[in-house]
Amino acid sequence: MKNNVIFKSILLVALLSNGVLSHAQEDRSKEKGWVNLFDGKTLNGWKSVGGKAPYSIEGETIVGRMTKGTPNSFLITEKEYGDFILELDVKLEGDQTNSGIQTRSHLDPNANGGLGRVYGRQVEIDPSERAWTGGIYDEARRSWLYPLDLNESAKKAYKQEEFNHIRIEAIGDELRTWVNDIPVSYVVDTIDRTGFIGLQVHSIPEKLDGKKVYFKNIKIQTSNLKSRAFPKDVYIVNLKPNEVVASEKKSGVKLLFDGKSSNGWRSVNGDKFPAKGWEVNNGELKVLKSDGSESTNGGDIVTKDKYAIFDLSFEFKLSPGANSGVKYFVTLKEKTKGSAIGLEYQVLDDKLHPDAKMGRDGNRTLASLYDLMTSNQDGRARRSIGEWNRGRVVVTADNKVEHYLNGVKMLSYERGSKEFKDLVAKSKYKDWVDFGEAKEGYILLQDHGDQVSFRSIKINTSN
C-alpha cells in the first residue's frame, strides 16, 4: 500500500512537470462553464476588421503583427456576448507599443474605406511608462472612462515582455478588470449590454513596424457567473446619472444632489435655496445665464453640511463661453462682494472665456486650483463644450489635495505647506488670513452669470 502511494505521488509530479494535467484542468474548467474562444490551431470563430495588420498562429498563440500605414486592426469574435467573465494572457513586444481587448463592442462597416471601424469599451494593454494596463477606454467613441490615475497602485501590475493574465468581468452594467490578479478598474455604464470581443493591434509609427502582440489561453464563461471580490477603496466610475450603486454605498459614497430636488443645498445668503437663477430639471442642477457677473442673479449655493476629509465627484456641462467653479473649505466668514471665498476647482470654457488668459501661467484654466496652481494641460482629458465632464476633488487627512478631470490627475498640492502659502501670497487671496486652511467647510457651486449644469454630485467621507 505504501509503495502504491509513493508511485502515485511520483506519477503526479511527472504529469505536472510535463503539463499533462493542463488538459484535465481545461476539462474541469468546461464543467464549471468555461469555453475556449481559441482552439490553439485555427482562427475559427474570429474575423479581422478595421485595419490590415495580420494575425497568425504560433504555438497555440494568436500573434498580431503591428504594421505601419494601417489604422487600428482587430480580430473579433463572430459571436456576440452579454454577461461574461473573460480570461486570457497577453504579451507585447517593446515599451512603446499598445493593444487592448474589446468588450461588448460593435462595428461601423462603412468606416475606414470599407475596412470597418470598431467602437466600444476596451480594456487597455499599455507597456509604456504611463502604465495604464487594465484601464478602460471607449474606442472610437468617448475616450478614457477609467485611466489608471484613478488607481495608481495598479500601475505596477503589468510585467513588460512577459505574458500577463487579464480577467474581465462584464456583468449587468458593471465592467471590472484584473491584471495578474490585481484589481484595476471598475466602471458602471449605461450602454452596450451585448457585443463582440476583440483583440487589438494598434496603429503604430513606422519605427515600431513588425512588433508583435501575443494572445493565448482565451476562455469565457457566460453562465453561473460569480463575481470576484473587489476592494472597496478602489474608486468606481459610475456613469449612471445621479445614482449610487451597491458597491459605492458599501464604500461610503452618498449623493449630494438627488437629481430631483434642491434638498441639501442653500443660498450663501440664507437658509433657503435661491428663488431665482437656479433650477432643477431633467436630472440637472443648473445655474441659469444672466449677465456673466459673479453672484448677481441667484448667487452661489452651498451644501448644508460642512466637510473636512472627503472624496468629492461631480459631472458638469458648460455652455459656450461659460464660467463657474466648485469651491471647497468655504467658511462664509469672509465678507465679500460677488462669489464666496474658498479653494476653487475651476470650471471654464478655456477657449472662449477671457479668464483662461488671466492669472499666471494658465492657473485659471479648467480644473486648475483657481488663481493658484495650473492644471495638467493635456487636451485628451477634456471633453467638448456641451458634453458632460467628470470632475473630482480628493482631500486626505494629511491635507493632501488632488484634482481630477475625466479620471486624469490634473494637479496635487498640500494645504498649509510652504509651497501652498507661497502661491497664496502671489494670488488674489493674499489678504485673507490662513486662506484655504480651515479645518472644515462647505462645498459651493458658483453662479458666475453663465449657464452651467451639474449632476451626479457625490461625496465619500469614510477615508
C-alpha Rg value of the chain to the nearest Å: 26
Q: Is residue 249 part of a domain?
A: yes
Q: Encode 127-152: b = buried (16+ Cβ within 10 Å), e = exposed.
A: beeebbbbbbbbbbebebbbbbbbbe
Report the pLDDT value the prediction gives residue 291, as an integer from 0 to 100: 82
Segment 63-110, tens digit of pLDDT = 999 999 999 999 999 999 999 999 999 999 999 999 999 999 999 999
Q: Is residue 3 part of a domain?
A: no
Report the pLDDT value the prediction gives residue 19, as an integer from 0 to 100: 41
Strand ranges in 126-195 using DSSP code E only, listed in sequence order? 136-139, 143-146, 164-171, 174-179, 182-188
Lowest mean pLDDT among 9-18, 30-39, 409-418, 424-433: 9-18
pLDDT beyond 60 at 212: yes
Residue 208 near residue 79, CB atoms below 8 Å: no
Domain count, the chain: 2
Report the pLDDT value the prediction gives residue 358, as an integer from 0 to 100: 96
Cβ neighbourhood burial of 176 (10 Å; 0-12, 13-18, 19+): buried
Same domain? For 217 and 247 the reply is no
pLDDT band per the 50, 70, 90 thresholds, residue 18: very low
The CATH number of whichever domain residue 448 belongs to comes to 2.60.120.560
The percentage of the chain sitting over the pLDDT mark of 90, rounded to a whole number, equals: 88
Report the pLDDT value the prediction gives residue 294, as an integer from 0 to 100: 79
Same domain? For 168 and 297 the reply is no
Q: Which neighbouring-strand residues pair with 162? A: none
Segment 172-185, tens digit of pLDDT = 999 999 999 999 99
Looking at per-residue confidence, does 114 or 56 come out higher? 56
pLDDT band per the 50, 70, 90 thresholds, residue 30: low
pLDDT beyond 60 at 420: yes
What's the average model confidence in pLDDT over 404-422?
98
pLDDT beyond 80 at 301: yes
Same domain? For 352 and 422 the reply is yes
Q: Please enumerate in sequence order all residues whose Cβ is within 8 A of that of 315, keeping only pairs 6 or more positions apart, or say none.
A: 241, 388, 389, 390, 391, 454, 455, 456, 457
Residue 455 grid coordinates: 449632476
pLDDT beyond 60 at 15: no
Q: Do the strands 164-171 and 143-146 form a parallel or antiparallel pair, or are they unpaired?
A: unpaired
Q: Please enumerate in sequence order all residues whose Cβ is within 8 A of that of 300, keeping only pairs 6 or more positions apart, or say none.
A: 267, 268, 327, 339, 340, 444, 445, 446, 447
Q: Please enumerate in sequence order all residues whose Cβ is within 8 A of that of 263, keeping only pairs 6 or more positions apart, or say none.
A: none
Q: Is residue 440 part of a domain?
A: yes
Cβ neighbourhood burial of 419 (10 Å; 0-12, 13-18, 19+): exposed
Same domain? For 452 and 349 the reply is yes
Same domain? For 158 and 55 the reply is yes
| Helix (H) or strand (E) run with residue 56 in it | strand 55-57
pLDDT beyond 80 at 25: no
Q: Is residue 5 part of a domain?
A: no
Return contacts of 318-321, CB within 8 angstroms, 24+ apart. Answer: 318/347, 318/348, 318/349, 318/385, 318/386, 318/389, 318/450, 318/452, 319/289, 319/349, 319/385, 319/386, 319/450, 319/451, 319/452, 320/349, 320/352, 320/385, 320/386, 321/349, 321/352, 321/353, 321/450
Cα separations in angstroms, 295 against 150, 274, 290, 299, 437? 34, 11, 10, 4, 24
Q: Is residue 230 part of a domain?
A: no
pLDDT band per the 50, 70, 90 thresholds, residue 21: very low
Residue 324 near residue 446, CB atoms below 8 Å: yes
Same domain? For 72 and 125 the reply is yes
DSSP state of 241: T
Domain that holds residue 207: 20-221
Q: Is residue 12 part of a domain?
A: no
Q: Is residue 2 part of a domain?
A: no
Same domain? For 72 and 123 the reply is yes
Q: Is residue 10 part of a domain?
A: no
Report the pLDDT value the prediction gives residue 6, as an integer from 0 to 100: 42
Residue 238 near residue 248, CB atoms below 8 Å: yes
Cα separations in angstroms, 20 against 61, 163, 248? 18, 21, 44
Domain stop point among 168, 187, 221: 221
Residue 446 grid coordinates: 458658483
What's the average model confidence in pLDDT over 121-132?
97
Report the pLDDT value the prediction gives residue 438, as an integer from 0 to 100: 97
Alpha helices by DSSP H, listed for 335-458, are 418-425
What's the average model confidence in pLDDT over 56-68?
97
Residue 406 near residue 389, CB atoms below 8 Å: yes
Report the pLDDT value the prediction gives residue 336, as an integer from 0 to 100: 78
Largest CA distance in the chain: 94
Same domain? For 207 and 320 the reply is no
Q: Do the strands 196-201 and 164-171 form a parallel or antiparallel pair, or are they unpaired?
A: unpaired
pLDDT beyond 50 at 26: no
Report the pLDDT value the prediction gives residue 38, as an integer from 0 to 100: 98
Same domain? For 207 and 75 the reply is yes
Same domain? For 205 and 279 the reply is no
Same domain? For 134 and 178 the reply is yes
Segment 229-286, tens digit of pLDDT = 999 999 999 999 999 999 999 999 999 999 999 999 999 999 999 999 999 999 999 9
User: Distance between CA atoms of 119 and 194, rounded to whole angstroms?
Assistant: 13
pLDDT beyond 90 at 20: no
What's the average model confidence in pLDDT over 384-394?
98
Provide, for the chain, the percentages of residues in helix, strand and coil under a 3-state DSSP scheme, each rounded to the nearest 5. Answer: 15, 40, 50
User: Distance between CA atoms of 176 and 169, rounded to whole angstroms?
Assistant: 5
Same domain? For 264 and 410 the reply is yes
Determine if the pTM surpasses 0.85: yes
Query: For 125, how many CA atoms within 13 A lie in the half-sphere containing its CB?
Result: 33
